Each structure stands twice: as structure tokens, then as C-alpha cells.
Amino acid sequence: MSVLVVGTVAFDAIETPFGKTDKIVGGAATYICLSASFFTKKLNLVSVVGEDFPNEAIQMLKNKSVDTKGLQIKKGEKTFFWSGKYHNDMNTRDTLDTQLNVLENFDPMVPEQFQKSEFLMLGNLMPSVQKKVLDQMKRRPKLVVLDTMNFWMDLFMDDLKEALKEVDVLTINDEEARQLSGEYSLVKAAKIILKMGTKHLIIKKGEHGALLFNHNEVFFAPALPLEEVFDPTGAGDSFAGGFIGYLAKTNDISFENMKRAVINGSAMASFCVEKFGTQRLLEINKDDVDSRINEFVSLAQFDIPLK
Amino acid sequence: MSVLVVGTVAFDAIETPFGKTDKIVGGAATYICLSASFFTKKLNLVSVVGEDFPNEAIQMLKNKSVDTKGLQIKKGEKTFFWSGKYHNDMNTRDTLDTQLNVLENFDPMVPEQFQKSEFLMLGNLMPSVQKKVLDQMKRRPKLVVLDTMNFWMDLFMDDLKEALKEVDVLTINDEEARQLSGEYSLVKAAKIILKMGTKHLIIKKGEHGALLFNHNEVFFAPALPLEEVFDPTGAGDSFAGGFIGYLAKTNDISFENMKRAVINGSAMASFCVEKFGTQRLLEINKDDVDSRINEFVSLAQFDIPLK
């Protein structure tokens, strides 16, 4: 099944306790596409860059079977840039610089050939932009996944809540779940968020794994215990890419299959954090992914039959 | 199989955001025994109380098939007392008062009938006291589990490391694993701790679950997502009781069975935190435990076969 991915394609400059990078290619949609490309070859990208964005990076996406027809290249403008520094615990970071550039007036255009994509991944972007993409779809996708962050909750909570009404799966982290719901307990938070319209909620807890909720069930996926987390940038997007990529590949959106998708997403995130930026996602192959999935099976599986 | 449990039998006064208690019966060995009693009826207790300790509490332990022959009752002395206050996040607490009383000169005596117990649970106590119990065993137990805490690491690290050489399973929390190993990464910490002599390590992460390590394998058990954690006191001990109780019941100390034991321990801990002190453990029955185990199976299981 085809996946339409909307999100940023950007430059990042990252500093972690292990080192720092110059401007490197990043952005939510980049990580989502790279990660999803291990599962499906029908990836349609809608995004925007400036004319400073390197052709080789676009070619890199094309090599991963990403259709870049929907990637606007703005003459005379500059690509979105984010710079951040992670603290020693790797769970918190400071934003050092944000230059919106082409994002400031981003008007997403979904090419006609993309408007019937079966799966829609709305990567982290202004909620009204996410909504605009949804509105351009010729038919309701089989599954709509929306990722967002605290920044949009601070500024555009109403827009976000409006968008949530049309979403199948919302992915946020634990702090964002607390902010969105006003509840500290994640179980209570999930109940409140599921009343906002989204049919499923994934709460990403970083090194502590991820929770998948629907109205009746809950599933927990561990994160792989790693010796070092080198750079967390893009981990959440790699998770989302693996999640929707797996669902598109298997064309099954049952809760049981979403559990498997969460494990696949967790596996992709576990690769992402092993090196700076997209480096690790560009090195690995399908065999690496398969053996990582096996590690998750060994890590989490036990044989107690239901009584 | 019989389980020898050594640890405190005590009075606690607890304050959480949900309320506070007067002096109630607590102590590591109390929680361990109550929890283990759901799995085995051969529980041998070695501990000490003062003459202020209520007979009904001893009777309560006996009713749970705990043999209290090794419980010393010190005339003219007072029972160990601990008072603490939990912060809003329930993950951190302040100790308000500690009165060692009978613990100050506790010289554990293992009755002869207990000296061949097959399983030994060394609950949180001064490491030299734990060692004294181990030394009184007529034959090496099939499995020795030791629980400890940061307090003993601060004061008696050498004694603790000496005891660890004879231990099969060490249970500590994440911060304690970092302190004991000097490593922030739990994977690195586990490698270092396993070189200290213990054959297995369980790192308890509270609401984030538990990790079980041996030299080659790692298993992760989630914590049950709860609407409220009412009182975390005794959760770690309830975990330990469920863990060793299940192993004693099944008489199988393979890594595969330890995984099941960790799930059973997690289930017992999930009950413990639902009410103040031992209250919830005293209310539930075996059917409640079985259905809680089913919840863990639903929560954590997915069907991706190994490739």
C-alpha cells in the first residue's frame, strides 16, 4: 500500500555529549521516509525545502523509493534549520536555534497522483498544515497517523484538537500526553485523549518504551536496552516510519497487527539513536532490521498462556 | 520448595499525595512473605521485632502459612520504625524518621529446621546480617536472591560486594545499579555488576518495568499501567516475593522460567501499590492474581515469530 508522508525536510545541527555535527540533512519526513522504506516502496513525500538544499539529498530519498513529486523547492529561499543540544541524560535538550525559512509560509500541495494514498503519515508540523493535507485527499485514507509536539500545543491547541477529530493514531511522548490531557497518570491521560477523536494513541517514552492504547486495550513495547544512546534526534520519526511502513506493507490495521507495527517502529528507533542524524538508517539493510526484531522478541516474550 | 525469607518486620508511617497512615505493619519480610504466600505454603521467616509488635500481625503471617519460628521477639525493646513521605511523582520520597530499635543489634538465628530451605530470599538489610544468614545454611540453597539499597552502598559497600559473590540474583533499582557500577547506561551497569559475582541481575524501574540480565541474555517486563499509584511502599518487596515464590513453586531456575517469575513479581507489585501498606495484598485471592497475570500477557505479548 502507498504511504503519503508529510513533514519537514530540513537541516539540523546537533550537539550531544558524544560530539557535534555541522548542518546535516534531517527533518521529520526524512526520518519517516528512510525508516518506512524498509517496509514499503510506495512512499509519497509532500514537503518543502529552499534552493540551498543539496540535490544529492533528494537523490538519496529517490534511491529509497521516495517519490519526491510533492517536494516543493523554493527559489531564493532557505531550508528549515534547527539546532539543538542534548543534556547528559539524553532525555532533555535545549533548542539553540530555529530558522523557519521556507516553513514560514508552507502551503502543502498534494499532487493528484498522491491524493488516493492508502496510508497518511502527518509528521510533526503546524496542525493547520497537517489539516490542509488531509483535506486534499480524494478519499479518506485507510489510516491517518498524526505526530505532533508540545510546541504546537502551546501555540495552536485548538487547531490541534480540530485535526485530532480526523485521526486514527496520534503519536506523542509522555510529557505531551500529560500536557494535552491535563492528567499526570498516563492511563488517565490516554482515556481523555481518546475522547478527543483519535481512535488510537501511542505514547512514546524514549528509553522506557512505548504504549499503544485504543478504547479497550493497551499494549506495551519495550525500548531495546542500549549501551549508549548516541543521538536521539529523529528517533520518534523513525518509530513513526517503521510503524506506518509495517502497517502499509501488511495492509492490516487490526490492534494485533498494530502491536507488531509498534515493535517494528521501536526497532527502527533503536537503530536511529546509534549514530548521529540519519547515518545509521542509511547504513543498515533488511537483514539488520530482521535480526533487531528478533532481539525484541527475545527481550519481551515469555510463555505464560492465558488462563 | 521451601523459601527462607530474611528481612525486616516493622512499623511504617506513610504519607502520599493521597493521604497518610498512622503506624501500620510493614517491613521487607512482611511484604515478601505476603506476596510469596500466593505461590508457596512453605515460608520460613527469620526476623526480629520488639514486644510492642502486635500478636495479631504475627497471627496474620501464620495464617498465610508463614513459619514464624525464626522471628525473635525482644523483650523490653521496640520494633523497627520507618516513616516516609512520597513526592507528587511517587518516584521519590523523603525519609522522615528511622528508629532502628531491635534492628540495631539484630543477630539473625536460622532455626535448624530452616537451614535446609531450598530457596533463600535475603531481603533488604545490612549486608553483614544477610551474609550471616547465608553462612548458617546447612547446604547451599538452590537459589539465593538478595535485595539491597543505596543506603547500604553508601555505608557498607565492601560488605555488600562480599555478599554478592555468593548470590544468584541481585535485585536493585536503576539508580542503585548506577551507584553500584559507576555507569549511567543500565546495559553497561549490568555487565559490571554481573562481574561482581551475582549470576543474575534484576533492575527494578518502578512504573517503567523491570530488566532481568544474565551474562548472555536480557528480558524486559513492563509494569502494568495504572490509573493511580496509591502508595509505592513495599512494591519492590512484593516483586521479590512473587519472583522467588513462583520459582519455588515451579522448582525451575532456568532463564525462561525466571522470565515468568519476573512477570509474576511484577503482578504482585502492581497490586501492592493500589492501596496503603499491605492492605491490597491482604484483600486479593489467587483468582485476582491469575487475572492480573492475564493482563500482563495481553499487555506485553505480540506474535512475531523468530526469523
Average of pLDDT values for A136-150?
97
Instruction: Tell me how close the Cα of A54 comes to any Cα of chain B, in angstroms.
Output: 37
Looking up cell 531481603 gives B123
pLDDT (0 to 100) of residue A90: 79
pLDDT (0 to 100) of residue A75: 97
Rg, chain A, Cα only: 18
Question: Contact A293/B307, CB-based, under 8 Å?
Answer: yes
Tell me if residue A72 falls in helix, strand or coil: strand
Q: Which of A214, A38, A235, A256 shows the shortest CA–CA distance to B304?
A: A256
Average of pLDDT values for A126-135?
97
pLDDT per residue as tens digits for the range B221-268 = 999 999 989 999 999 999 999 999 999 999 999 999 999 999 999 999
pLDDT per residue as tens digits for the range A80-116 = 999 999 988 777 889 999 999 999 999 999 999 999 9
Q: Over the range B5-39, which residues count as b (16 or more CB within 10 Å of their CB) and which as e?
A: bbbbbbbbbbbbeeeebeebbbbbbbbbbbbbbbb
And the C-alpha cell for A243?
A: 510503524
Query: Which of chain B's residues have a Cβ under 8 Å away from the Cβ of A178?
Result: none
Query: Which of chain B's residues have a Cβ under 8 Å away from the Cβ of A267?
Result: none
Q: With a cut of 80, say whether residue A198 has pLDDT above it.
A: yes
Helices (H), chain B: 28-36, 55-63, 127-135, 150-164, 174-181, 186-194, 235-250, 255-272, 279-283, 286-300
Helix or strand (DSSP H, E) at A260: helix A255-272
Q: With a cut of 90, say whether residue A46 has pLDDT above it.
A: yes
CB A212 within 8 A of CB A259: yes
Chain B residue with the nearest C-alpha to that of A185: B227
Query: Which of chain B's residues have a Cβ under 8 Å away from the Cβ of A227?
Result: 185, 187-188
Task: Assign B90 a pLDDT band (cuts: 50, 70, 90).
Answer: confident
The 8-class DSSP code of residue B223 comes to P
Chain A residue with the nearest C-alpha to that of B225: A187
Number of CB atoms found within 10 A of residue B176's CB = 21
Q: With a cut of 90, say whether residue B91 has pLDDT above it.
A: no
pLDDT (0 to 100) of residue B32: 98
**Domain covering A3-300 in this structure, CATH number:** 3.40.1190.20
Chain A residue with the nearest C-alpha to that of B287: A307
CA distance A246 to A261: 6
Q: Which of B115, B120, B130, B203 shows the shortest CA–CA distance to B161?
A: B130
CB B65 within 8 A of CB B37: yes
Q: Could you say which of B184, B291, B307 has the minimum Cβ distance to residue A294?
A: B307
pLDDT per residue as tens digits for the range A4-31 = 999 999 999 999 988 899 999 999 999 9
Q: With a cut of 80, say whether residue A157 has pLDDT above it.
A: yes
Complex-level ipTM: 0.92
Average of pLDDT values for A49-64?
97
Angle at B107 between CA B103 and CA B111, to 5 degrees: 120
Superfamily designation of domain B31-46+106-300: Ribokinase (3.40.1190.20)
Question: Contact B306/A300, CB-based, under 8 Å?
Answer: no
pLDDT (0 to 100) of residue A89: 77
CB A211 within 8 A of CB A174: no
**Sequence spans of domains, chain A:** 3-300
**Angle, nearest 10°, between helix axes A174-181 and A150-164?**
60
Average of pLDDT values for A290-298?
97
pLDDT per residue as tens digits for the range B124-175 = 999 999 999 999 999 999 999 999 999 999 999 999 999 999 999 999 999 9
| A184, burial (CB in 10 Å: exposed 0-12, middle 13-18, buried 19+) | middle
CA distances for B134 relative to B67, B75, B120, angstroms: 18, 26, 8
Q: With a cut of 90, say whether residue A197 has pLDDT above it.
A: yes
| B138, burial (CB in 10 Å: exposed 0-12, middle 13-18, buried 19+) | exposed
Question: Contact A302/B298, CB-based, under 8 Å?
Answer: no
Average of pLDDT values for A221-241?
95
CB B50 within 8 A of CB B25: no
Q: With a cut of 80, say whether residue A305 has pLDDT above it.
A: no
Q: Could you say which of A185, A187, A228 has the minimum Cβ distance to residue B185?
A: A228
Instruction: Tell me how close the Cα of A58 comes to any Cα of chain B, in angstroms.
Output: 34
